[in-house]
Every structure is written in structure tokens, then in C-alpha cells.
Amino acid sequence: MGKILSFTSGKGGVGKTFCAVNTAVELAERGFRVLVIDMDINCSNVFILLHVKPENRFQRYFENVIPLADTIITSDFGVDVISAGVNILGFIQFENEYNFNRLVRDLEVIKENYDFVVIDHAAGIRQELLKFYQISDEIVFIANPEVTALTDLYRVIKVVSANKLCGSLNLLVNRVKNIDWAVNLYREIQAVMKKFGIPEDLHLLGPIVNDEEKVMLSIQKRTPLVKLFPRTPIKGGFALATTRLLYKMGMFKDSDGGQKAFSKFF
């Protein structure tokens, strides 16, 4: 049975899609079957980072022209993709509770063909999309050191907790100088959660170091960074985060694996 991983953040621009795509490719490199779904419909970017052409397949699915399976596109990087692409105006008319409920039901069937389904959510919380958090096995929050990003992230965590959407919460800290920055930010978020009585545990996956030049080259070349720069600290961050997530889920048995992944690159 496929596991659903939801990647989300409090605000846009923190690197959520970048982290979702590179984690998906990292999973694929380890032999897992991975599907990436771009639910950030109005600002869809997954298809750009994975260099695929979604055409208007997602819209045709909501028009009942094709089944969900026919919206899947195979990328050159070992992962499959479902994306709304750039046809935003044509898609908005299909954004309603009925269609999203149908998508959830069909997704439950599709996931049986994969080990992981990675959902790239829109930043913040939309009421009609809460059901996708409910079916998730893990939620991965993306944060960076910006004060506004952290403030908005607290709000999202509170909504997820108050609605009991998912009991398994994770943090991936993007654009930091080193692991100490990530740990300190993680402790700060934990302290705020405790202050507001949020009972869920938050699991730190690791740091993604700041390297704007490599990130920009990755986007320009439409190639995931973990493929383009396979032996760099930023790749090491994704290796560490993926190993820790797999170990947490009982899918990686080496108790020292996280440290090995970290020391290999840092």
C-alpha cells in the first residue's frame, strides 16, 4: 500500500515545491515507485522542475473525459507526475468539494501502484483541501528562518492539530547556513507548539543548506538538484532527510543510517 506524503508550508516562497520534488527524486533513486501530485493548482510548478508537459489532462479528468490514471506523466527522473500545468483559468471552474472528494477516492486507488505519493500542497490552508491532509501518512512542513514564514507555519500547524488531520508531523528546514540553524529553529517551533498546547510531536528531518546558485541552475535546467549536483551539501541534506523519514516510517532498518547519510556529504 502506497504511503502519502504531504508537503506544505505557511507561506509561499520558502521552497516547498523544490523540497517536495527533490525528496521524491531521492526516494526514486533508492528504488521506490513515486508519484508526485501538484495540488498547488493556481501556482503549479512541479511540471517545470521535472520538465514534463501536462497539457490539459488534469482538467480533462475533472470533465470526466479521462480517468485519473490517464493524467499521469512519466518524467525523465524516475518519478511520475500529475499536474494542472498552466491552464489555471480553465481549471478554476472545477475547484469544488464534489470534484476534490472524487479525486481523493481515485487517489486511494492509484496509490496502490506506488510506494509513495508525494503531494505538493498550496501554501497555507484551504478548507476544501483539508481532506488530502487527512489521507496523508506523513505531513512535511517546510520552513526557513524568515520571521513571516515561521509565523504562518505556526498557523498551519495549529489548523492541522485542531482538526486532527494527521498525527505524524515532520519539519524540513530550508535555506539555512548549517545544521545548527536548523536545530535551533526546530527547538523554537517546538517551544511555540508547547506554549499553545499543540500535542503532536514534530520530527526534525534535517537541514537543506542555502545555495542559491545551484538551486537557480537546477530550475533553469529543469533538472532536480539531487540529480544535477549529486555530491554536494544540499544533496546531502535531502539524503539525510529522506533516510530519517524512511527510518521513522519503519522502512529503513539501519539505526545509524541518518548519521551515515549526513557524514557522507558534510
- For 210-249, what is each residue's pLDDT tens digit? 999 999 999 999 999 999 999 999 999 999 999 999 999 9
pLDDT of residue 27: 98
Is-contact 181 207, C-beta < 8 A?
yes
13: left (phi over 0), alpha (psi -120 to 50) or beta: left
**Residue 88, by phi and psi: left (phi above 0), alpha (psi -120 to 50) or beta?**
alpha
C-alpha cell at 130: 483539508
pTM of the model: 0.93
| Amino acid residing at 199 | P
Sorting pLDDT into bands at 50, 70 and 90, what band is 167?
Answer: confident
**Distance spanning both ends of the chain, measured CA to CA:** 34
List the beta bridge partners of residue 174.
208
Candidates 3.60.15.10, 3.30.710.10, 3.40.50.720, 3.40.50.300; correct CATH number of 3-238?
Answer: 3.40.50.300
Fill in the amino acid letter for 216.
M
Flag whether pLDDT at 86 surpasses 70.
Answer: no
Which pLDDT value is given to residue 202?
Answer: 96
Please state, for a pLDDT cut of 70, what percent of the chain lies above it.
91
Average the pLDDT over 80-91 and give the result: 74
